[in-house]
């Protein structure tokens, strides 16, 4: 009986280990503070090649806010990115655009924080975003987190020190 249990446990561990080698958590959902969505964003990230985590991928997000005083903001980051590394820690690099719209019911309101980052001619508008950071992505999926440096730019200027931090869930 002891031999049977030992053989069964050995087979289970071997099968589980070989399965985790083939498992690639190529999708993730996460919330990010700062970053490409500016104040915050909810994001979906996926790899184009579902068998290789070190491949090109895409990130789609949405963020924004609305206050009772009438200030409102909407952002939609769309970025292409690539992961580099052997895992579970990866260097992430990419770039794209964040489309945004903002407004206020108060005349001549400049309370929108986006004017602090970069000046805009009006709403709707778009900014370019670069992405350089670290992503912890467990090989079996699960809890994931990231920290990024996100330089932003438009026709009015360049803001090199915008950062983002995100936490979420990776899966296949």
Mean pLDDT taken over the chain: 84
Average pLDDT over residues 78-94: 95
For residue 97, the surrounding DSSP H or E stretch is: strand 89-103
Domain 25-171 in CATH 2.40.160.20: yes
**Does residue 103 or residue 13 have the better pLDDT?**
103
- Residues 45, 35: contact at Cβ < 8 Å? no
Strand, helix or coil at 17?
helix
Could you give the percent of the chain with pLDDT greater than 70? Answer: 80
Report how far apart the first and last C-alpha atoms of the chain are (Å, whole number): 37
pLDDT at 69: 72
Q: CA torsion 15→17→19→20, rounded to 10°?
A: 160
As a whole number of angstroms, the distance between CA 37 and CA 30 comes to 12
pLDDT digits (tens, 9 = 90+) for 109-133: 544 556 667 777 778 989 999 999 9
pLDDT tens column, 64-83: 888 767 788 899 999 999 99
pLDDT of residue 70: 75
pLDDT at 65 (0 to 100): 85
């Amino acid at each position: 009986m002891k031999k049977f249990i030992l053989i069964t446990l050995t087979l289970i561990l071997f099968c589980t280990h070989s399965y985790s080698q083939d498992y690639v958590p190529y999708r993730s959902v996460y919330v990010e503070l700062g970053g490409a969505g500016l104040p915050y964003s909810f994001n979906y990230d996926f790899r184009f090649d579902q068998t290789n985590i070190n491949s090109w991928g895409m990130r789609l997000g949405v963020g924004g806010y609305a206050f009772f005083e009438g200030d409102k903001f909407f952002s939609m980051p769309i970025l292409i990115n690539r992961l580099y590394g052997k895992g579970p820690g990866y260097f992430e690099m990419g770039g794209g655009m964040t489309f945004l719209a903002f407004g206020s019911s108060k005349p001549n309101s400049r309370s929108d924080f986006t004017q602090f980052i970069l000046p805009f001619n009006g709403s709707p508008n778009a900014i370019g975003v670069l992405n350089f950071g670290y992503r912890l992505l467990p090989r079996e999926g699960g809890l994931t987190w990231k920290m990024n440096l996100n330089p932003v730019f438009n026709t009015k200027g360049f803001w090199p020190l915008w950062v983002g931090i995100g936490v979420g869930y990776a899966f296949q």
